[in-house]
Chains A and B, each alone.
Chain A
Amino acid sequence: MKKNRERFCSREREFVYKFKIGSQCLELRVPLKFPVQENVSYLHGRLMLLHSLPCFIEKDLKEALSQFIEGESLRDYDREAEASLEAVKSGEVDLHHLASTWAKAYAEEDHIRACKPEEPSWDEDFADVYHDLIHSPASETLLNLEHNYFVSISELIGERDVELKKLRERQGIEMEKVMQELGKSLTDQDVNSLAAQHFESQQDLENKWSNELKQSTAIQKQEYQEWVIKLHQDLKNPNNSSLSEEIKVQPSQFRESVEPNGRIYEEQRKLEESFTIHLGAQLKTMHNLRLLRADMLDFCKHKRNHRSGVKLHRLQTALSLYSTSLCGLVLLVDNRINSYSGIKRVFNSQGKEGLLFHEFRASGLLSESVKQVDLYPDTQVKNRVLANLNSGNRNGGSEDKSKNADRNYLNILPGEFYITRHSNLSEIHVAFHLCVDDNVKSGNITARDPAIMGLRNILKVCCTHDITTISIPLLLVHDMSEEMTIPWCLKRAELVFKCVKGFMMEMASWDGGISRTVQFLVPQSISEEMFYQLSNMLPQIFRVSSTLTLTSKH
């Protein structure tokens, strides 16, 4: 079929036009390439000019030319059409395959003509219900309920930690005793077996707790979802309302929760500076930038000690959860998704306390633990990861592979990121976990570095999914270390500023220049002086909008 097509397509044909000047018979021959793309009048004008044709044949030539083109094009259409019919008839193209391709196209792309009933989708319906409720008087009840769940889980975690600690202490004492006896009444063998025993009992306890946590979160989630649906139904028909009564009666205040450990840096002064910038050469789009000295996790954490603020923050985040202006955050993680340490661990505990009650598809949430995040939902991805890691030498079927994948491909590469969604972190809905390696600590990364490319992809996702506020670690590190000198910081900040500026300009062409807020975060440990150096740098890279002066003169 392809061959046929080529034969019919780029084909040259000659247009012949005969005319008389006096007694002279002249002939005009024009090779034309079919299908003709050019406008006939332009072609005609060109012919008249190029061959200096006399004006009295102008009209006639035009008619002849357009007739010729029309006729030949029609013939081409016919030939092409006949050829494709012939191809089906002769079996060159499989009839069933053809029909099923069409049927598939209709079924997949359009729901009216294929007359396929819509399958109900739980998350979308829940989204609607939740969105309705949070914008109704029930919002407070909803938030209180969420908060209570959150408190009970954090209590559970607290209990777990206490119990684990107790166990460890007990085991420590036991072990000490045994060590004293070592060489006297006990052998190495005994010590080893005791250690093994200890380890096992620790594991048992941890498992018990994690099961319990899992269970109670599952129960909570179910309870919560059922409650939400029921509340929504009740609100819809107010006559048989049992729950709406509950709403009218102001529910109890937030349950008191024990503040386990107030962080030290909360006392440290938060520095921030805001800028309004214009991007673009002719058409300018306005965006907001903010430079902040703060901890990334401040955006996640509920500040339990100022309670009035909690509710407002929570409400704000909850109101916009299903809206088209989401808030996101970039977290830098290492490449081992199954181990959790550092920021991941802290974030995880936040996430665990801040349970996600909303069933998001493919459960990309951190509420359980990073380990269980279903990162690679289908085998296709696994295979890609496999190829990525250059370990395609495994044998066995794809089933086997996928198992292996679970075990072995939990490493992600720098520049890749996974996304988690959260309904109840204090200021964000979406977290981008961007994988970076130790390279970011070195002073010589370029704009082509995977981490930077990752940022670009993150901004692109922001574009396609209406994330209008995004927080980025400016220096691409969460904590400062000794090698990060002042020149290092300045160099890195300049790189990230410039790259983000470039990406934002690119974004304007993707989404038509929707105004966004980009927050650049620098670690808490950075000096005030350094912060101001960075805030001086920003207006040199971005064009800060001129202040509007209102004068009576005009």
Chain B
Amino acid sequence: MFPLKDVEMGAFTFFASALPHDVCGSNGLPLTPNSIKILGRFQILKTIIHPRLCQYVDISRGKHERLVVVAEHCEQSLEDLLRERKPVSYSKVLCIAFEVLQGLQYMNKHGIVHRALSPHNILLDRKGHVKLAKFGLYHMTAHGDDVDFPIGYPSYLAPEVIAQGISKTTDHVPNEKPLPSGPKSDVWSLGIILFELCVGRKLFQSLDVSERLKFLLTLDCVDDTIIVLAEEHGCLDIIKELPENVIDLLKKCLTFHPSKRPTPDELMQDKVFSEVSPLYTPFTKPVSLFSSSLRCADLTLPEDISQLCKDVNSDYLAERSIEEVYYLWCLAGGDLEKELINKEIIRSKPPICTLPNFLFEDGESFGQGRDRSSLLDDTTVTLSLCQLRNRLKDVGGEAFYPLLEDDQSNLPHSNSSNELSAAATLPLIIRERDTEYQLNRIVLFDRLLKAYPYKKNQIWKEARVDIPPLMRGLTWAALLGVEGAIHAKYDAIDKDTPIPTDRQIEVDIPRCHQYDELLSSPEGHAKFRRVLKAWVVSHPDLVYWQGLDSLCAPFLYLNFNNEALAYACMSAFIPKYLYNFFLKDNSHVIQEYLTVFSQMIAFHDPELSNHLNEIGFIPDLYAIPWFLTMFTHVFPLHKIFHLWDTLLLGNSSFPFCIGVAILQQLRDRLLANGFNECILLFSDLPEIDIERCVRESINLFCWTPKSATYRQHAQLPKPTSDNSGVRSSTPYFSECPDTPKTDLSRESIPLNDLKSEVSPRISAEDLIDLCELTVTGHFKTPTKKTKSSKPKLLVVDIRNSEDFIRGHISGSINIPFSTAFTAEGELTQGPHTAMLQSFKGKVIVIVGNSAKYTAEFAAHLVKMKYPRVCILDGGINKIKPTGLLTVPSPQI
């Protein structure tokens, strides 16, 4: 990423052509609006970064197919040089020519042709270097197909471009599509521009458009294009004065026949540039985060470190990349449309004036005049950074260059730091819209991510606060631990050969998060297809289940220009959270998952659980898409982001808590309704407050003993050596359950047994922890410290009193199962039952020597709406070997 430096941001707008009324594509679905197609194609342009090109930053869709493109911009252009009406010195002409060719060559390497080269699209930065603007217009409009206006400027069109004419092709006949213009047509345009610079005037000004074009086509018959052009404009003497190599260059550019004209690449190697080319060093693309080559390979520190500090300038913002500046500009109240309206580029007619008079049944309308405000005006408007700079004027340099030490005190100590820590307590939605706060977070994350994987722990730590939206893609990758040569890996996967799953993928993609512009564009569909196929092909033991598409969507959206990263993230996500969910026969995995889920409902919300069980509304009916897609099927992208920001910090049992939190938001409606209404309610899930959902699921997670969500089909814990580094930094809520298995851990039980139990089992290990028999503080979390360091817990021993006296867990109470309940199912009164009642709402662990009785006892308690009831796995016998049982004595 290059810093913004002294360039500016500009915006221009145009309309995509409207689609014909009610035409369907070959797949029977409505056609994608042209503006969305353009938006999809635009994305790749953002990655084409070269000092000679105006970097593209953003595209946005307005009403009625309007598009606004944001890109780097400079106020000066060759147009200004021409306006002086003086010939430009030949050495300058050569430099300009070479710089333009550099830009063209780089574009061509990425398969892009300019086609709209003209003096006002060749901008000059403050140092007088060339920057090509609007270089992606021809590419993003599908070679002009998706817009009504012609691309290019009449005087500068190459003869073959004119000869090819304007032909609109439609989606239906892709094979008849003529080839677009090649890279050589830009060389012609450059030739005309250089000619104009040499003679100091614009060509063809006296001719109207059609005469100009006719004249250009007749140049075929002449021997020397340069002479004819010069004669036509009465500047033969100037041309004759030009040095040999400039004439040579012009001649080469203005070769009528494209087959004889050089490409930009060839022309750059030409000897006419022998004086100029040594002045320029070839451009090398900076190495990105996940590349196989060493990022620091070319990094050299100067001998004298103090030299680094030499060119300190106080304009820190200019040192940030243009994407960041644009993002902050938007946050600081920048409004593209308003800027364009102020400059009178957007002048829309009141809609009432453009209504048609009559419509046929097939939707064809009449009496609708053409809105002249929809015509093209491709003037670029400079976006003023004043407002943003004003907003950030109090932000000190420390915010732009935070120190990344491992200790706690790395909040920037500028005068706004107080404000900043105050901002950190505000709701997420507000934080995400706060300019200063986001600036701080972006800079911090940018630096941390540059130091990934070295700074992995600190990324985890900061991600627990929040993740700045601009950095989300890379941060997620870091949280998922993506590493290695992901590009090479992805390139090597065969994403093209047809496989049997293709049909299903093809059906699912046009139904997956299509409200989103990026994902509904044809470009998005193609990327979807490739990433999904790559995953299916490279995981032969797993299969494509519907829902994988939804799971792919957030990763693809965040890494739209980096399929390899999207693929890598998805491949890392699935084993962590959805281990074996995509087996060909995944029923045992899912069944176990859902059973644990219903135990979690009973654990946290017995009343709801009782009701749902009563009406037979079991999780199988609604929760499969939740967990199979990790909620990506039920929520829109912007909610998924907030949910997953937290999910990625938790372990594989966190999703249970999210599920319970969702149910709790719908609690009143579920409790009030019967089976049919519940089915209806979930068929079209009502709006869920996602911030509340996240908050509540964290809270639920803190109350859940880690072994309560034990699943035998979960991913086996990795060898500790592998992630010991991560482990130390992950206890967001509590330890991951991937601690090594010991005798005191939970043992797997058959699914049917699991299903028969209403309440979850917990391991002896957990019990010991919870009773503080050995270790303390497992439920400590950074956020919950003050509330209660440890939930109070009651152990209920249901063996008969003789056994109890022989030895029990200290602090436990004895309510023998045989006498616990009356015939009506009420608790029998007694000192112990009173104790039990007083502990309602705390964690209650039932201990016994018969699994059947303990489960029944627990079920009884759940019936009586006791929350947080669980069973000791393996019963009292598990504890016996530990020697922790005590024999009651008068005082303990």
Contacts and interface: CB of A to CB of B under 8 A. Distances in A.
A35 B358 CA distance: 44
Given A45-B492, A50-B494, A76-B179, A375 B687 contact: no
A interface secondary structure, majority: helix
A208 B378 CA distance: 55
B244 interface: no
A360 B63 contact: no
A42 B496 contact: yes
A98 B165 contact: yes
B176 interface: yes
Nearest to A549: B668
Nearest to A111: B375
A527 B377 CA distance: 57
A186 interface: no
Contacts, number: 279
Interface string A511-551: 11100000000000000000000000000000101100000
Contact of B178 (A5, A103, A283, A418): A5
A9 B177 contact: yes
Interface in B364-391: 365-367, 369-370, 372, 375-379
B634 interface: yes
B366 A82 contact: no
A57 interface: no
A381 interface: yes
A149 interface: no
A99 B210 contact: yes
Given A106-B150, A413-B361, A546-B669, A77 B492 contact: no
Interface in A381-395: 381, 384, 388
A543 B686 contact: yes
Interface in A6-53: 6, 8-10, 35, 38, 41-46, 48-50
Contacts of B126: none
B154 A106 contact: yes
Contacts of A73: 182
Nearest to B371: A124
A115 B246 CA distance: 32
Interface stretch (B277-285, B346-354, B464-472): B346-354
Contacts of B372: 111, 118-119, 121
B45 to A, nearest CB: 16
A381 B257 CA distance: 46
A291 B283 CA distance: 66
A10, A131, A508: residue with the most chain B Cβ atoms closer than 10 Å = A10
B217 A282 contact: no
B208 interface: yes
Contacts of B349: 124, 127
Contacts of A384: 360
A453 interface: yes
B357, B377, B633, B686: residue with the most chain A Cβ atoms closer than 10 Å = B357
A306 interface: no
B880 interface: no
Nearest to B635: A282
Contact of A35 (B162, B179, B513): B179
Contact of A509 (B30, B154, B353, B379): B30
A95 B217 contact: yes
A73, A103, A131: residue with the most chain B Cβ atoms closer than 10 Å = A103
Interface residues of B, number: 89
Interface residues of A, number: 111
Nearest to B640: A282
Interface string A88-120: 110001011011111101111111111000110
A443 to B, nearest CB: 22
Contact of A102 (B30, B61, B210, B359): B210
A155 to B, nearest CB: 29
A416 interface: yes
B25 to A, nearest CB: 14
B148 A109 contact: yes
A45 B494 contact: yes
Interface in A345-367: 360-362, 364
A46 B497 contact: yes
A508 B515 contact: yes
Contact of A42 (B184, B491, B513, B684): B491
Nearest to B61: A512
A38 B351 CA distance: 43
A206 interface: no
A283 B515 contact: yes
A473 interface: no
Contacts of B494: 45-46, 49-50
B361 A322 contact: no
Given A84-B163, A360-B352, A103 B687 contact: no
Contact of A418 (B210, B257, B357): B357
A326 interface: yes
Contacts of A74: 182-184, 263
A412 to B, nearest CB: 8
Contacts of B495: 42, 46
A99 B732 CA distance: 69
A2 B352 contact: no
Interface stretch (A138-146, A246-254, A454-462, A475-483): A454-462
B357 A364 contact: yes
A416 B361 contact: yes
A466 interface: yes
Contact of B160 (A82, A103, A375, A554): A82
Interface string B604-616: 0000000000000
Contact of B166 (A101, A416, A454): A101
A81 B211 CA distance: 21
B179 A89 contact: no
A95 B351 contact: no
A12 B636 CA distance: 44
B498 interface: no
A384 B375 CA distance: 28
B880 to A, nearest CB: 43
B358 A95 contact: no
A98 B213 contact: yes
A417 B496 CA distance: 49
A362 B367 contact: yes
Given A99-B213, A102-B165, A416 B176 contact: no
12 contacts: A46-B494, A100-B210, A105-B150, A112-B378, A119-B372, A282-B635, A284-B636, A418-B357, A430-B352, A450-B361, A457-B359, A546-B687
- The 10 A-B residue pairs with the shortest CB-CB distance in the complex, in nearest-first order: A77-B182, A81-B160, A415-B361, A110-B376, A109-B149, A103-B210, A322-B350, A283-B636, A99-B210, A84-B163
